[in-house]
Amino acid sequence: MSEIKMFEDRNVGEGYYKIDIDSYPTTPWEKFKRVVKRSLKGELFVGLWVVLREMIKFNIHTVQYPLEKMPIGPRYRAVHQMKRLWESGTERCIGCGLCEKICISNCIRMETRYDENQRKEVSEYSINLGRCIFCGYCAEVCPELAITHGGEYENCSEQREHFILYDDMLTPIDMVLNKQQKEFEGFGAVTPNEDARLKKTPLAY
C-alpha cells in the first residue's frame, strides 16, 4: 500500500459513519425543496404546540412591572435613609464622619459645627447617588444606626442634584411620632439576639 493510500483508507473505528452529502441544488425548485426539508422538522411543531398550550391556559409567568413588583429582601441596598431618634425625633447622625471616610466612591460630603451649647451638629450632609455603588459600607460602619439603606430602587429625575437631597432621605418627623419609622434589618443592623451576644466588660482586674 502506497503511503497516500494508507491515509485515504483510514480505519476510524465503528463509532464513525459517513454523512451522505447531497449534491448542491442548482435549480430554484430544488433549492426551495431543500429549504422546506431542512426547516420544517418535527421539533418546530412541538415548540409551537408548547407556546399555543401556554397561551390558551393564560399561564403568565412574567411580572407586569410597574403594576406588579417583586418583593425585595430586607437586606436589599437601595437609596439611603437617615433615621431619627424614637424618643425625641432629632436626627441620629452625630457627625462622626465614619461614613464619609469609609465610602469607597467618595460620594458622601458632610460639614459639622458647634451649636450654641458647644455640641457638635451636622450642618450639611449629602450623598451623591450618581456616584454611589450601594455597597452598604456607610450603613455598616455607622455607630448610631443613623444611615441605613431603604427599599426605594426606582430613581429617576431630570436633575442630578435631586439625587443628593438630605431632606428626602431623612425620615419625616410625623412618621417617627406615628411610630412608622422602620429599623434597618440589613448591613450593620442590630441582630435580634444582640443583647445575649454582648460580652460584659470584666470589672475586677
Q: Which residues make up the interface to ligand SF4 (CB under 6 A)? A: 93-99, 102-105, 107-108, 127, 132-138, 141-142, 144, 146-147
Cα 159 to Cα 40: distance, rounded to the nearest angstrom: 54
52 exposure class (CB count in 10 Å sphere: 0-12, 13-18, 19+):
exposed
Using the minimum distance from each CB to ligand SF4, give the nearer residue, 48 or 85: 85
Cα 33 to Cα 31: distance, rounded to the nearest angstrom: 5
Using the minimum distance from each CB to ligand SF4, give the nearer residue, 76 or 134: 134
Provide the minimum distance between the beta carbon of 34 and ligand SF4 in the complex, in angstroms, as a whole number: 59
Provide the minimum distance between the beta carbon of 106 and ligand SF4 in the complex, in angstroms, as a whole number: 8
Using the minimum distance from each CB to ligand SF4, give the nearer residue, 102 or 189: 102
Cα 143 to Cα 141: distance, rounded to the nearest angstrom: 6
Provide the minimum distance between the beta carbon of 121 and ligand SF4 in the complex, in angstroms, as a whole number: 11
Q: Are 95 and 120 in contact (CB under 8 A)?
A: yes
Provide the minimum distance between the beta carbon of 127 and ligand SF4 in the complex, in angstroms, as a whole number: 5
Helix (H) or strand (E) holding 53: helix 42-57
Using the minimum distance from each CB to ligand SF4, give the nearer residue, 25 or 97: 97
Cα 119 to Cα 176: distance, rounded to the nearest angstrom: 23
